[in-house]
Structure 1
Amino acid sequence: MMENAIAWILIFPLFGSVACAILGMGNKKICYPIAVLSMAGSLWAGIEALRQVIASEEHTISYIFGGWTLDQYPRGVGIEFYADILGILITLVVLGVGLIVAIYSKLPVQEETPGKEPLFYTLFLLQITGLAGICLTGDAFNLYVLIEVAALTGYGLIAMGSNRAAAATFNYVMLGTIGASLYLLGVGYIYIKTGTLNMIGIQQAIEANGLADSATMQVAFVLVGIGILIKMAFFPFHAWLPNAYCNAPTTTSCLLAPLVTKVMIYVMIRMVLSVFGVEFSFESTMWVDVMPWLVVVAILCAAVMALAQREIKRMLAYLIVAEVGYMVGGIWIYNYYGFIGSIFHIISDACMTLCLFLGAGLILRKAKTTKFDGLRGLFGKMPLTMTGFFIGGFSIIGLPPTCGFFSKWYLITGGMVSQRWEYMVVLMFSTMVMVVLFFRLIERIHLAVTESGENLGHGHGDLGLNAEQTRFDEGPLSMLIPLLVSATIVIVVGIYNQDVVSLIEIFLSDYNLPRGTGH
């Protein structure tokens, strides 16, 4: 069983989803423990796979489904799942977030989607199967299939939300379908020129046949790239994201917000490094000159839109769009440190976004609103919840020792050595916007100041809150403990940042990335 760790990563949630669908018809309460146990088993398999990857001489492991073997058949025959350090790290992020959200989900799912627990947990586990599969697949077409598995289950999970969720889901379906179609069309062009869909085989074919100057491959690169940008909600393709995450059920937004965009950024890194190759991606296309400027516009616009929000989840949604710009910029400044920062920020952003959305879910449960002016007095009523929430907020700002500080440090270092001053300036600007946003929240919540600036207190040390408003009233432990665990992870990943960076450096050592000016 140990040697099949990659397969077990997918088997646990896949069969868990089937169990929820079948057994849940007779007993809805059984779905929650099935989901938690499935995620725990999958995370165990992921940790074992990481151990195998690190112990491997080439720092990779491969598993081919259906009895095919590389000894008998060439690579590309059969369904291959392939794990290197990058793939397994992002897989562990997916599985870790999935387990924490599964534990958190018990009460929100019962209260927000009553009677639909079997359907919800079936889609929940299929979503994890799709996202983990995206990180591990070694085939460009199977990647499309798994992207669509994740997308279709995401549509269903979002549609279970508020009355506005249907319209938000429709927008998501439209843009998601366009992105997936462009990606699939690009894969078709790749197959025409290379004769293979295996990711390693594609890069080998490009190098062996001198396809760097091929117009067909250039078109394929653009189609695949735009398709991925739409899927990751890169500005201006972000229109589906704010409404989808704000109108989705609490558990859905807690699962999708930390993972979907980050996994698609992983796909972009995989494509430019492992599929098309460094030389083709950065030296044979014009994207290395164009993308950093598009990133500047994306971060600037997203930060300004976040500044205009007066509701927590919508503000966080626009911050996700800005963070997508951070990570895409780290890739396209074409620099060793930029790649370290981008990969590290995938991990950091998943952790701190999870923390923030778990906190927002608890706030919504207790305050019945997430609008700024409806949150006064929450520090007195929910000190643990607000501490966990603001640890995520301080990480997204980039305060040490949280993980957000160290990933931003590498991104800024990459911009500096690549002399991309415009990228550095917009990073600093958006950071200042985030400082304003979160300290404005602290002012509203702790000092009980309204949006108009009116202080509800009546004197020094008096916040104008009655005994009922200041009574200690935390959320249920099944929701509070996952929030505090996620907040702890944000700090622990920051403290042990060098261990994470060391693993990323092992992965990047296979690629000849410049450490100075990238172009």
Structure 2
Amino acid sequence: MTLAAHLPALQVVLPLLAAPVAVLLRHGGLAFAVVTAAAWAAFATAIGLWLQVGQGGDGHVISYHIGSWPPPWGIEYRVDRLSSFVLVLVSGMAALVLPYSRSSIAREIAPESHYLYYAMFALCLTGLLGITITGDAFNIFVFLEISSLATYVLIALGRDRRALTAAYQYLIMGSIGATFIVIGIGFLYLMTGTLNLADMAGRLGAIESSRPVLVALAFLTVGISLKLALFPLHQWLPNAYTHAPSAVTAFLAATATKVSVYVLIRFYFSVFGESLVFDQLPLPQVMLGLSLCAMFGASFVAIFQNDLKRLFAYSSVGQMGYITLGLSFDSVNGLAASIVHLFNHGIAKGAIFLLIGGIVAASAARGAVSPAPTFANLAGLARRMPLTCFGIVLGGLSLIGVPGTAGFISKWYLILAALEKGQWWLVGAILLSSLLAVAYVWRFVEVAYFRAAPAGQDARGEAPPALLIPAWLLVAATIWFGLDTSLSLGSALDAAQQLVRTGR
């Protein structure tokens, strides 16, 4: 067999092996080299899988049998249009965030902990990739715990003591979510006798309305919603994003909640099926209501935040509302809007948090008493850091959904899905909630561009190129995918059509 045939296994094995090697080396520089090489290799692997699935034709699925044990007896790695798309996002973000981390953590994490940071980053990446590629329900839980445990440590590595509180809060909430998920998987195993997702879906057809199956659906929905920070189960997210090291915040904002959305889509469409989830239960109405609460409530709260990281953390909760809103439509365009916004929001928010990390690094280099990106410290910032501020503005325009940015494509397809359903009022809701995004983005513009810097403010400028270049690559991607949608929207539409076709 050729190397190409083993790409699914390499996708997980490469970062998994890098983690213990980083610990054994016990040297920040060497650990960085090993983990970064593994991340870039994983990114190349993900692109290879995405190309293989695309070249295989409509509905092509790659099935890889671990240990040559055929499913459902053995563990299966399964790659389709959706999973390959998410793999590219997760591994690509890791490949960009790690070079950024080299300079960023020098100011935010104690030097003796650098090798541990890289080891935990590799484990977190392993877990997220494993969740996305596995075709086994219990493996989803195992990889979810690997990524979660690594995430708790990554958040706690911040110098601010509040990072420990944020990590502990996330640990408690994350453990509750994981418990709900494993209980749901247990009920499904009880009713079907299998853990293979494809096999499970086939066996659920005859018993989909039985009470244990409905209980499993309820537990999985709540548990996964907690992991993806769906309103009102989002309480762990603002503190985690605010107090974690900048590189950690960027990586989590771009990937962790997005992988949880992937899991929800996978269970809804590939396991339970649309008939049960969307036709027999009031789940679409519940999801619609919670999505609107997130879009308006979290965005409104974001307007009144005084810390820039916290502002965009609440923005993330609001943006997750757009993703789940697309799911509630139960249509190809609605699902495509969710999938493409999963990607578009990931790159835009990753860019914003990387740029905010540059502000923190520049403030620390100037010897600021408080390097935190509070609005009191941001007055006149555009004069000192024009590239950083302009990048944040461009990322903010994508969150608003301005034409020419990736975010516009997502909201346009949400509007199309609403019009297909004849729900004109939802078009107004999408546009009105976008005005809230205008308000919180404008707060940054007003302070950075239209307020004078405090007297005696150091005139030194931009963050180091090692911090600016990865961030601006994501900013450029945000504009590129707003102008050329063949890769992002094309993959999302293909994935949506494949899921809707198999879920009916």
TM-score range, shorter chain: over 0.9
Q: Which has the higher helix share?
A: 2
Query: Deviations 1:122-145 (Å, cap 9, x if unpaired)?
Result: 000110110011111101111011
1:96 is aligned, of 92, 98, 106, to 92
The amino acid that maps onto 1:223 is F
Tell me the secondary structure at the aligned position of residue 68 of structure 2.
Answer: coil
Asked if structure 2 preserves the Cα contact closer than 8 Å seen for 1:288 and 1:333, the reply is: yes
Change (3 A) 1:434 1:82: same
1:252 is aligned, of 238, 248, 251, to 248
Q: Distance in 1 between matches of 2:495 and 2:108?
A: 42
Asked if structure 2 preserves the Cα contact closer than 8 Å seen for 1:376 and 1:445, the reply is: yes
**Corresponding residue for 1:401?**
404
Change (3 A) 1:289 1:439: closer
Change (3 A) 1:271 1:423: farther
1:164 equivalenced with 2:166 (yes/no): no
Question: Residue 90 of structure 1: CA displacement?
Answer: 0.5
Question: Residue 477 of structure 1: CA displacement?
Answer: 1.1
1:475 equivalenced with 2:463 (yes/no): yes
Q: Distance in 2 between matches of 1:77 and 1:212?
A: 23
* Matched ranges for 1:199-218 at <5 A: 199-207=197-205, 210-218=206-214
1:334 equivalenced with 2:335 (yes/no): no
**Corresponding residue for 1:15?**
17
Question: Residue 30 of structure 1: CA displacement?
Answer: 0.8
Question: Residue 429 of structure 1: CA displacement?
Answer: 2.3
1:263 equivalenced with 2:249 (yes/no): no
Q: Distance in 1 between matches of 2:241 and 2:443?
A: 22
Q: Distance in 2 between matches of 1:481 and 1:415?
A: 38
Q: Distance in 2 between matches of 1:402 and 1:173?
A: 35
Query: Deviations 1:483-518 (Å, cap 9, x if unpaired)?
Result: 11111111111122134222222223334479xxx9
Question: Residue 52 of structure 1: CA displacement?
Answer: 1.1
Tell me the secondary structure at the aligned position of residue 394 of structure 2.
Answer: helix
**Corresponding residue for 1:82?**
78
2:139 is aligned, of 133, 142, 157, to 142
Tell me the secondary structure at the aligned position of residue 509 of structure 1.
Answer: helix
Asked if structure 2 preserves the Cα contact closer than 8 Å seen for 1:158 and 1:249, the reply is: yes
Q: Distance in 1 between matches of 2:308 and 2:265?
A: 30
1:64 equivalenced with 2:65 (yes/no): yes
Q: Distance in 2 between matches of 1:61 and 1:255?
A: 27
Tell me the secondary structure at the aligned position of residue 147 of structure 1.
Answer: helix
**Corresponding residue for 2:492?**
504
Alignment gaps of 5+ in structure 1: 449-455, 457-462
Question: Residue 422 of structure 1: CA displacement?
Answer: 5.0
The amino acid that maps onto 2:99 is I
Question: Residue 425 of structure 1: CA displacement?
Answer: 3.3
1:354 equivalenced with 2:350 (yes/no): yes
Asked if structure 2 preserves the Cα contact closer than 8 Å seen for 1:295 and 1:329, the reply is: yes
Change (3 A) 1:191 1:425: same
The amino acid that maps onto 1:66 is G
Alignment gaps of 5+ in structure 2: 364-370
Asked if structure 2 preserves the Cα contact closer than 8 Å seen for 1:336 and 1:513, the reply is: no
Q: Which deviates the most, 475-484 or 291-300? A: 291-300
Q: Distance in 1 between matches of 2:107 and 2:361?
A: 10
The amino acid that maps onto 1:399 is V
Q: Distance in 1 between matches of 2:500 and 2:389?
A: 44
Tell me the secondary structure at the aligned position of residue 498 of structure 2.
Answer: coil
**Corresponding residue for 1:460?**
none
Question: Residue 329 of structure 1: CA displacement?
Answer: 1.0
Query: Deviations 1:60-118 (Å, cap 9, x if unpaired)?
Result: 111121232x3xxxx22112111001001011100011011001001222222221011
Q: Which deviates the most, 416-425 or 344-353? A: 416-425
Q: Distance in 2 between matches of 1:37 and 1:389?
A: 28
Q: Distance in 2 between matches of 1:502 and 1:486?
A: 19
Tell me the secondary structure at the aligned position of residue 281 of structure 2.
Answer: coil
Question: Residue 36 of structure 1: CA displacement?
Answer: 1.5
1:493 equivalenced with 2:484 (yes/no): no
The amino acid that maps onto 1:89 is F
Q: Which deviates the most, 97-106 or 251-260? A: 251-260
The amino acid that maps onto 2:492 is I
Q: Distance in 2 between matches of 1:3 and 1:512?
A: 28
Asked if structure 2 preserves the Cα contact closer than 8 Å seen for 1:380 and 1:472, the reply is: no
Query: Deviations 1:405-463 (Å, cap 9, x if unpaired)?
Result: 10111112112222334543332222101111112211111111xxxxxxx4xxxxxx7
**Corresponding residue for 2:126?**
129
Asked if structure 2 preserves the Cα contact closer than 8 Å seen for 1:127 and 1:149, the reply is: yes
Identity %: 32
Question: Residue 178 of structure 1: CA displacement?
Answer: 0.9
1:40 equivalenced with 2:40 (yes/no): yes
Q: Distance in 1 between matches of 2:127 and 2:428?
A: 37
* Matched ranges for 1:277-316 at <5 A: 277-316=273-312
* Matched ranges for 1:427-446 at <5 A: 427-446=430-449
Question: Residue 342 of structure 1: CA displacement?
Answer: 0.3
1:242 is aligned, of 238, 254, 261, to 238
Q: Distance in 2 between matches of 1:144 and 1:65?
A: 17
Q: Which deviates the most, 140-149 or 284-293? A: 284-293
**Corresponding residue for 1:451?**
none
Q: Distance in 1 between matches of 2:178 and 2:423?
A: 31
Tell me the secondary structure at the aligned position of residue 81 of structure 1.
Answer: strand
Asked if structure 2 preserves the Cα contact closer than 8 Å seen for 1:334 and 1:513, the reply is: no
Query: Deviations 1:145-203 (Å, cap 9, x if unpaired)?
Result: 11111111000101111101111111111111111111111111111111111111111
Asked if structure 1 preserves the Cα contact closer than 8 Å seen for 2:269 and 2:500, the reply is: no
Asked if structure 2 preserves the Cα contact closer than 8 Å seen for 1:298 and 1:325, the reply is: yes
TM-score of the aligned structures, taking structure 1 as reference length: 0.91
Q: How many residues align?
A: 491
